[in-house]
Homo-oligomer: A and B are copies of this chain.
């Protein structure tokens, strides 16, 4: 099945489907607003992301169906001799296709893209409430060397 997956940059008309996927999750359902029409804040963020050369909102599709989403941010740092990093965030796959390799394909795609962008590191944080996600990323070669700290404003 995973052979037929294609990847592309998200378009504005994909946004309701993206928000629906982000909401269809124990944590997502508490913090998203999957409404019609979508709250304006989603559109504003979409435009901020897609007009920024260092941010990419990527969707995975099978034929015309959107089955996965993630955001990749490329950041230049002074540390590591001025090295660029790729940060992956907001990874979600459609519930119906879960455990069929879509997530793996998404992350492999992100790693390849990070290499193209000459990053020396790919990074992400995963909620400690998602032990399956931690195992998933470790299987892909990520090391949980850091604590991920958050401060809500």
> Which positions in A face B, CB cutoff 8 Å?
15, 18-19, 22, 28, 31-33, 39, 41-46, 48-49, 52, 54-55, 57, 69, 71, 73, 75-84, 87, 89-90, 111, 114-115, 119-129, 134, 137-138, 140-153
Inter-chain contacts of A121 with B (CB < 8 A): 150-153
Stoichiometry, as copies per complex, reads 2
22 sampled A-B residue pairs with Cβ under 8 A = A15-B78, A45-B77, A49-B77, A52-B54, A52-B76, A54-B54, A71-B77, A71-B78, A75-B87, A114-B153, A115-B153, A121-B151, A122-B150, A123-B148, A125-B148, A140-B151, A142-B151, A145-B148, A145-B149, A147-B147, A147-B148, A148-B148
A149 is contacted by which of B77, B84, B137 (Cβ under 8 Å)?
B137
The answer to whether B151 touches A78, judged by C-beta atoms less than 8 angstroms apart, is no
Q: In the complex the two chains form, what is the Cα distance from A140 to B138 in whole Å? A: 30
| Nearest CB on B from A32, distance (A) | 6
A45-B77, A81-B33 given; A144·B142 CB < 8 A: no
